Structure 1
Amino acid sequence: MPAEKNTTTPPVTAFILVKTTPEWLAMTPQERVDAFTTQVIPAIKAKTTGVRSRFYDTEFYSARVTDVWVWEADDHEAYQLLIDALRETPFWDRYFEIVDLLVGTENGYARTYGLAPVASVTA
């Protein structure tokens, strides 16, 4: 049975793969938190709304990518404004080297073909 047509724009999800720089690693953990709350958050709030973030440490398993920033934006404009804001902070290519940007929308294939999303479920 085809899925009901989605009439809202799906959120844009960006997986930003980064590598820490020596400058970032030289900071104490508290200095890192302070840098994020005083340099990144205000820049984002000044440029856009409708964005959320999560952060994943990957340095235990990868030498090329030490962290993955997952940003979700309400739409493409909010995402573009987010990237503009991040680029104006030291987090972009000073504290972190941007390795790659992977951007997509969840279950895009299902919306394109009018199908129900397929996902695994565990009990």
Structure 2
Amino acid sequence: MPAEETTPPVTAFMLIKTMPEWLAMTPQERVSAFATQVVPAIRARTTGVRSRFYDTEFYSTRVTDVWVWEADDHEAYHLLVDALRETPFWDRYFEIVDLLVGTENGYARTYGLDPVATITT
């Protein structure tokens, strides 16, 4: 029996810059703001999204953080962005510098090739 074909997840690299209002908060206030203002909005609007957060302010002044969002499909990603835009996250706590959205190994699926990846030991 052939393997079931599935739609690849959508991955979004959200390049953001912290705003003065966010930086004026204590670390505990930031955690609380995210937990009470952002997370509930996401949960109310969509499912099938996961996130990871990377600090980059040590190396860049234009982009202070990269938030990586993985969504089960394009609709889940669309609903995620709609949810974020309705919270202080969007353009109040953070400036959205750029959004880079794609699917992993899309070229390989398009051309029926094995993905190229590096392996280190």
Same-fold call, TM cutoff 0.5: yes
SS in structure 2 at match of 1:94: coil
Offset, 1:6: 6.7
Aligned counterparts of 2:120 and 2:41: Cα–Cα separation in 1: 39
Q: Which residue of 1 aligns with 2:74?
A: 76
Aligned counterparts of 2:40 and 2:89: Cα–Cα separation in 1: 13
Q: Which residue of 2 aligns with 1:60?
A: 58
SS in structure 1 at match of 2:54: strand
Q: Which residue of 2 aligns with 1:48?
A: 46
Letter in 2 for 1:46: A
Q: Which residue of 1 aligns with 2:16?
A: 18
SS in structure 2 at match of 1:100: strand
Aligned counterparts of 1:38 and 1:121: Cα–Cα separation in 2: 40
Aligned-residue sequence identity (percent) comes to 84
Alignment partner for residue 91 of structure 2, among 93, 96, 99? 93
Letter in 1 for 2:60: S
Aligned counterparts of 1:100 and 1:61: Cα–Cα separation in 2: 17
Q: Which residue of 1 aligns with 2:35?
A: 37
Letter in 1 for 2:69: W
Contact 1:5–1:111, Cα closer than 8 Å, also in 2: no
Confirm or deny that 1:111 pairs with 2:109.
yes
TM-score, reference length from structure 2? 0.96
Aligned counterparts of 1:33 and 1:66: Cα–Cα separation in 2: 17
Give the unaligned 5+ runs of structure 1.
none
RMSD of aligned Cα (Å): 1.2
